Amino acid sequence: MLPSRDLARLVEIMAALRTPETGCPWDLEQDFSTIAPYTVEEAYEVADAIARGDLADLKDELGDLLLQVVFHSQLAREQGLFELGDVVEAITTKLIRRHPHVFGAARDLSPEAVKALWSEIKDAEKAERAAARAAAGLPPETRGGALEGVPATMPAMTRALKLQEKAGRVGFDWNDARAVLDKIREETEEVSEVLDEGGLAAVRDEVGDLMFAVVNLARHAGIDPEAALRGTNEKFTRRFAFLEVALAARGLKPQDATLDEMEALWQQAKHQERGTDGIADGPASA
């Protein structure tokens, strides 16, 4: 079996890996549920390569992600459900249908009009699926309502954003970002109250409400909350690394230094990055 640029060869290799007795023992043990975590992991590794600007690594990571699609398709083929060709047909059909402004009669649409048209088409597809299930004598899908289509397995922050967007489309939304900011102040007070009263479950619930409100603020401000937090994580990592290097030059580790010493170095890191003295805002702040 030789490498190839042909997708069909990848399908053949995957089938060989899944062939009983001659295939790979590990691959033969897998099913949809055991492979799913790897699929999610590979998607994150693609995003990481993009964030790092490593386009050579991106090529490899995209290959790993493609393998996940082929793996799931092979599992489905073995069960007589569908195969890779059906997956390709499904997505090409969807893309053509959802882009009448490219492949159909609708032309010269604004980005806002394209987004509205996309939602209309998705609603029509949903109605058609429901009708097809009814005609086949199948029960209605268990999921439904305005929040349909937001997987529970999605990362919590991303899922919060998607839920808010869907609720906003039917009018359940704040009027502006400052109204959300007021909600954040309210949620902060509620967190303070439960911290005083004690009770881990209550604190968890209120902190969750606060985080949900912060995601909402980012959405209203036109900011991707996941990207914003990712940027802050990287900033924190850079500044903490500066702190560790500076302490090492003194023969110290973070656990050997006082909080005041680390705070002073943290402010130096901020000064170095921003080119200003900045405002002291605590060792764990951005």
State which of 184, 208, 223 marks the end of a domain: 223
Q: Is there a domain that residue 162 lies in?
A: yes
Closest to 155 in 3D by CA, of 246, 37, 16, 6: 37
State which of 77, 98, 119 marks the end of a domain: 98
Say how many C-beta atoms besides its own lie within 10 A of residue 168's C-beta.
15
pTM here is: 0.66
Q: Is there a domain that residue 68 lies in?
A: yes
Q: Is there a domain that residue 1 lies in?
A: no
Are 203 and 194 contacting, i.e. CB atoms less than 8 angstroms apart?
yes
* Domains in the chain, number: 4
**Which residues make Cβ contacts (< 8 Å) with residue 31, sequence separation at least 6?**
75
Burial class (CB in 10 A: 0-12, 13-18, 19+), 61: buried
Q: Collapsing DSSP states into helix, strand and coil, what is residue 19? A: coil
Type of residue at 130: A
Q: What is the pLDDT of residues 29-80, one digit of tens each?
A: 999 999 999 999 999 999 999 988 999 999 999 999 999 999 999 999 999 9
Percent of the chain exceeding pLDDT 70 equals 95
Task: Identify whether residues 12 and 84 lie together within a single domain.
Answer: yes
Alpha-carbon torsion angle 190, 280, 272, 245, nearest 10: -80
State the pLDDT at residue 282.
53
Are 200 and 129 contacting, i.e. CB atoms less than 8 angstroms apart?
no
Task: Identify whether residues 36 and 76 lie together within a single domain.
Answer: yes
Q: Is there a domain that residue 195 lies in?
A: yes
d(CA 10, CA 202): 51
Task: Identify whether residues 34 and 112 lie together within a single domain.
Answer: no
Q: What is the pLDDT of residues 272-281, one digit of tens each?
A: 988 754 444 5
State the pLDDT at residue 278.
43
Q: pLDDT averaged over the chain?
A: 90
Instruction: Assign residue 44 the CATH number of its domain.
Output: 1.10.287.1080
Task: Identify whether residues 33 and 75 lie together within a single domain.
Answer: yes
Task: Identify whether residues 115 and 165 lie together within a single domain.
Answer: no
Task: Identify whether residues 165 and 209 lie together within a single domain.
Answer: yes
Q: Among 81-85, 129-133, 179-183, 216-220, where is mean pLDDT lowest?
A: 129-133
Are 163 and 150 contacting, i.e. CB atoms less than 8 angstroms apart?
yes
Task: Identify whether residues 44 and 94 lie together within a single domain.
Answer: yes
Q: Collapsing DSSP states into helix, strand and coil, what is residue 11? A: helix
275 compared with 161, residue with greater pLDDT? 161
Task: Identify whether residues 187 and 250 lie together within a single domain.
Answer: no
Which residues constitute the domain of residue 233? 226-274
Q: Once rounded to an integer, what is the mean pLDDT over residues 257-267?
A: 96
d(CA 122, CA 128): 10
State the pLDDT at residue 277.
45
